[in-house]
Amino acid sequence: MTELVPSPVEPKAIGTALPRVDGVEKVTGRAAYAVEHPVDRPLFAWLVTSTVARGRVVAVDRSEALAHPGVVSVVDHTDAPRLAQTDNGELAILQDDAVGFRGQIVAVVLAESSEAAREGARLVRVEQEAEPFEAELREDNASYRPEKVNPAMETDTDQGDVDTALGTATTVLEQTYRTPYEHNNPLEPHATTAWWSEEDGRERLTLFDSSQGVHGVATALAPMLGIDREQIRVMAPFVGGGFGSKGEAHAHVMAAALAARTTGGRPVRLAVTRQQMFSLTGYRTATISKFRLGTDDDGRLTAIEHRVQEQTSRLREFAEQTASPTRMMYAAPNRRTSHRLAVLDVAVPSWMRAPGEMPGMFAHEVAMDELAEACGLDPVELRRRNDPDVDPEEGLPFDRRGLVECLDRGAERFGWASRPRAPRSTADGEWWVGTGVASATYPAMRQPGNVARVESTDTGFAVSIGAVDIGTGARTALTQIAADALGVGTDDIDLRLGDTALPMASVAGGSSGTSSWGSAIVAAAQQFLADHGDRPDPGLWTEASALRGDEADRFSFHSFGAVFAEVHVHRYTGELRVPRMLGVYSVGRVVNPTTARSQLVGGLVMGMSAALFEESVRDPRFGHVVTQDLATYHVAAHADVAGIEAEWLDESTTTFTPMGSRGIGEIGIVGTAAAVANAAYHATGVRVRDLPLTADAFL
Ligand code: MOS
């Protein structure tokens, strides 16, 4: 395996709207998802979950369940296979009688049919002893200081003297902003098919798992199960969305693996229900953001302070990096950020589209809107005045700081110039009409350790990498990248992914997939051409991994965007509508405009959905989330989505990746809820600082 710094790729297929290479398989139903792969004599698993938020399992009575026709067995903590490691408190299930949150897995029922398993699970009697618990994030209980915040950032930062600067500032804004719990709801619920077998006298575990990273699942499970990584194969050829919730294995994957170890080799199929997703597969923590901003006479920020409170689980630490965008977004000589956690008896929080940036930028961008008004400046102008020359945190120049261009382009296209400055000044019949703007940002990330394989075949090239296309179009974009890197047409590329039998690849997360995997593919392609020439015989191959060039250490890499929203608020009912949104983005070179537009518009829809609807309601008396389905956890539906447009600046810098791309999966959700909240303020004069913007706020 070679490591090299790949050279920039001349775009030919890159930048074209190649239709999804797997589109036909998907729309004809031939694409098989995690529980659809044919396997021999599967058993169906159903999860039994705890009904206390903290306590002990005293007894599990299986007799009625086992008497039900079709039920084969019940596995609980008394007889589940033992794990070799239990330090991951989320995954170490069925090992003892402790209950860590309401909805935790306490038993698994295996049956000959899904229906029998479900009925069996209903018939399992679990006697539990409840203990006192704490499940509510409050200002007064979020005081634990984690050592780092995700992925490995400083918990606190402090530059200059914020207090003194605020004392002498012309304008000071001090406000608190809140975002609620939110749950990822990809179309395909989490699901796993698992079976154990023996090969050359060694145990083997095979999984079809709905995952954003097959290699990550194998790496997480192997040491816990006491086997080598090579003894696990994980496959995810097609995945119906994830939004971060499939970025790491959750407990149901372990449940399937453990249950399958008891069946004498019969495969186990486990599909998490939509309801169970609200306790088992991750969620965005609620956040409390306390902002203090100070400016000079010209509206230039002299102090930025962002103190965050949010939550983690007693079972495993998860510290969302909510203040991280505040550290690089605007310039100010005096800056301070901090994160404190409430350690609760709840499920472990996890990644949800733009973890950190989404809640953090909601707070920051509403604060900027309030500050603009306090300074008597247009909100676009305030942001322009505070655009830094270098990354305030790193001190490095930005490879590309496209924010002001995005704001200007967006303002022009949206018709910002004709906007009246004062709020509550435009009405259309019974509706107040307003417009708002917010900035967006997301770091450009390229994960190390990715390896790609290029092999000449009779018909072209097989290009392999163990990455996952979770529905974004990665398989298509990587086909375009491979074609250009090899100097052939996209029809000549057979792109293979979604399998740990293929070379090492990082998770489809952090908007890093195309950059990380694409760079490895370019490296492998260029090394292949160097090794074998461009007219190779079939059967020759090269594996390579991409290093970053020295130049990459001299710049700060971020994407930027500007979101404009028009909001109508009904004068008598408070109903809020978003007839028009526009996002303009600086995201590097776009590999495929069709799939890229889907990502950006999808992010905008999700941000608008967060603004209007999304909220997981936790009942503090019992400690669980009561909004357990899409009837009670509302997401934007077709009728809510009107005119949403996304466009991007023409960019071609290849300092970050040889393709010129920087990542697009997450930035669309960043700042969007703030743009809607700011527009709602402009329409009504009512400032809402807590998501979602429910009708009662405007009455
Ligand atoms: Mo994304 S929340 O990093 O999958």
At 508, the pLDDT band (50, 70, 90 cuts) reads: very high
CA distance 346 to 137: 10
Nearest CA to 672 out of 613, 587, 619, 611 is that of 611
What b/e sequence results for 501-536 when a residue is b if at least 16 CB atoms lie within 10 Å of its CB, and e otherwise?
ebbbbbbbbbbbbbbbbbbbbbbbbbbbbeeeeeeb
Residue 515 contacts residue 399 (beta carbons within 8 Å)? no
Q: How many CA atoms lie within 13 A of 7 on its CB side?
A: 9
At 170, the pLDDT band (50, 70, 90 cuts) reads: very high
How far away, in angstroms, is 516 Cα from ligand 1 center? 14
pLDDT at 169 over 90: yes
How far away, in angstroms, is 246 Cα from ligand 1 center? 8
**Cα Rg of the chain (Å, integer):** 26
At 350, the pLDDT band (50, 70, 90 cuts) reads: very high
How far away, in angstroms, is 120 Cα from ligand 1 center? 35
What b/e sequence results for 619-638 when a residue is b if at least 16 CB atoms lie within 10 Å of its CB, and e otherwise?
eeeebbbebbeeeebebbee
What is the mean pLDDT of the segment spanning 265-287? 97
Per-residue pLDDT tens for 536-550?
Answer: 999 999 999 999 988
pLDDT at 365 over 90: yes
Per-residue pLDDT tens for 63-104?
Answer: 999 999 999 999 999 999 999 999 999 999 999 999 999 999
DSSP conformation class of 399: S
At 479, the pLDDT band (50, 70, 90 cuts) reads: very high
Residue 654 contacts residue 671 (beta carbons within 8 Å)? no
**What count of other Cβ atoms lies within 10 Å of the Cβ of residue 390?**
15
What is the mean pLDDT of the segment spanning 586-603? 97
Residue 660 contacts residue 588 (beta carbons within 8 Å)? yes
CA dihedral 591, 592, 596, 598 (to 10 degrees): -160
Catalytic residue among 305, 320, 615, 666: 666
**Which of 666, 667, 669, 670 maximizes ligand 1 atoms within 8 Å of its Cβ, making it the mutation to test the pocket?**
666
Three-state DSSP string of 496-534: ECCECCCCCCCCCCCCCHHHHHHHHHHHHHHHHHHHHCC
What is the mean pLDDT of the segment spanning 125-136? 97
Q: Report the pLDDT value the prediction gives residue 351, as an integer from 0 to 100.
A: 98
CATH tag, 390-445+555-699: 3.30.365.10
Backbone angles phi, psi at 575, to 5 degrees: -60, 140
Answering whether pTM is above 0.90, one says yes
Which residues are within 8 A (CB) of 122 and not within 5 positions of it... i.e. 6 or more apart? none
Read off the amino acid at residue 29: G
What is the mean pLDDT of the segment spanning 379-400? 95
Cα-Cα-Cα-Cα dihedral sign, residues 380, 385, 391, 396? positive
At 312, the pLDDT band (50, 70, 90 cuts) reads: very high
CA distance 194 to 209: 8
At 555, the pLDDT band (50, 70, 90 cuts) reads: very high
CA distance 226 to 220: 11
Per-residue pLDDT tens for 17-65?
Answer: 999 999 999 999 999 999 999 999 999 999 999 999 999 999 999 999 9
How far away, in angstroms, is 61 Cα from ligand 1 center? 40
355 lines ligand 1 (CB under 6 A): yes
Burial bucket for residue 31 (CB in 10 Å: 0-12, 13-18, 19+): middle
Which residues are within 8 A (CB) of 189 and not within 5 positions of it... i.e. 6 or more apart? 210, 271, 272, 273, 274, 277, 281
How far away, in angstroms, is 451 Cα from ligand 1 center? 21
Q: Report the pLDDT value the prediction gives residue 647, as an integer from 0 to 100.
A: 97
**What count of other Cβ atoms lies within 10 Å of the Cβ of residue 699?**
12
Backbone angles phi, psi at 205, to 5 degrees: -115, 130
Backbone angles phi, psi at 81, to 5 degrees: -55, 140
Backbone angles phi, psi at 476, to 5 degrees: -75, -50
Helix 513-532 crosses helix 474-486 at what angle (to 10 degrees)? 30
CA distance 610 to 286: 12
Residue 422 contacts residue 672 (beta carbons within 8 Å)? no
CA distance 217 to 221: 6
pLDDT at 620 over 90: no
267 lines ligand 1 (CB under 6 A): no
Residue 451 contacts residue 544 (beta carbons within 8 Å)? yes
Instruction: Extract the tokens encoding 274.
Output: 């939509």
Residue 471 contacts residue 240 (beta carbons within 8 Å)? yes
Which residues are within 8 A (CB) of 405 and not within 5 positions of it... i.e. 6 or more apart? 586, 649
Q: Report the pLDDT value the prediction gives residue 549, as an integer from 0 to 100.
A: 87
Task: Name the β-bridge partners of 437.
Answer: 564
353 lines ligand 1 (CB under 6 A): yes
CATH tag, 2-31+447-547: 3.30.365.10
663 lines ligand 1 (CB under 6 A): no
Q: Which atom of ligand 1 lies closest to the CA of 507?
A: 4
**Which of 353, 357, 447, 515 maximizes ligand 1 atoms within 8 Å of its Cβ, making it the mutation to test the pocket?**
353
Per-residue pLDDT tens for 240-251?
Answer: 999 999 999 999
Burial bucket for residue 615 (CB in 10 Å: 0-12, 13-18, 19+): buried
pLDDT at 575 over 90: yes
351 lines ligand 1 (CB under 6 A): yes
Please tell me if the domain spanning 2-31+447-547 has the same topology as the one spanning 390-445+555-699: yes
Residue spans of the domains in the chain: they are 2-31+447-547, 390-445+555-699
What is the mean pLDDT of the segment spanning 586-610? 98
CA distance 515 to 661: 6
Nearest CA to 444 out of 393, 358, 510, 506 is that of 510
Q: Which atom of ligand 1 lies closest to the CA of 351?
A: 2
> Which helix (H) or strand (E) segment is 443 a member of?
strand 431-443
How far away, in angstroms, is 247 Cα from ligand 1 center? 7
At 133, the pLDDT band (50, 70, 90 cuts) reads: very high
CA distance 504 to 251: 23
Give the Cα-Cα-Cα angle 27, 594, 585 (nearest 5 degrees): 140
Q: Report the pLDDT value the prediction gives residue 180, as an integer from 0 to 100.
A: 98
Residue 205 contacts residue 217 (beta carbons within 8 Å)? no
How far away, in angstroms, is 350 Cα from ligand 1 center? 9
Q: Which atom of ligand 1 lies closest to the CA of 665?
A: 1
Q: Which atom of ligand 1 lies closest to the CA of 244?
A: 4
What is the mean pLDDT of the segment spanning 460-486? 98
Instruction: Give the start-end residues of each E strand in 210-300.
Output: 232-235, 268-271, 287-295
What is the mean pLDDT of the segment spanning 671-680? 98
Nearest CA to 504 out of 549, 461, 467 is that of 467
Residue 588 contacts residue 663 (beta carbons within 8 Å)? yes
Q: Report the pLDDT value the prediction gives residue 216, as an integer from 0 to 100.
A: 98
Residue 340 contacts residue 137 (beta carbons within 8 Å)? no
247 lines ligand 1 (CB under 6 A): yes
Three-state DSSP string of 279-336: HHCCCECCEEEEEEEEECCCCCEEEEEEEEEEEEECCECCCCCCCCCHHHHCCCCEEE
Q: Report the pLDDT value the prediction gives residue 551, as an integer from 0 to 100.
A: 86
Backbone angles phi, psi at 114, to 5 degrees: -60, -40
Active site residue 666: yes
Strand bridging mode 98-99 / 153-154: unpaired
Instruction: Extract the tokens encoding 678.
Output: 């700011």
Q: How many residues does the chain have?
A: 699
CA distance 595 to 612: 25
Which residues are within 8 A (CB) of 443 and not within 5 positions of it... i.e. 6 or more apart? 324, 510, 557, 558, 559
CA distance 30 to 38: 12
- Mean pLDDT score across all residues of the chain: 97
**Which of 248, 283, 350, 351 maximizes ligand 1 atoms within 8 Å of its Cβ, making it the mutation to test the pocket?**
351
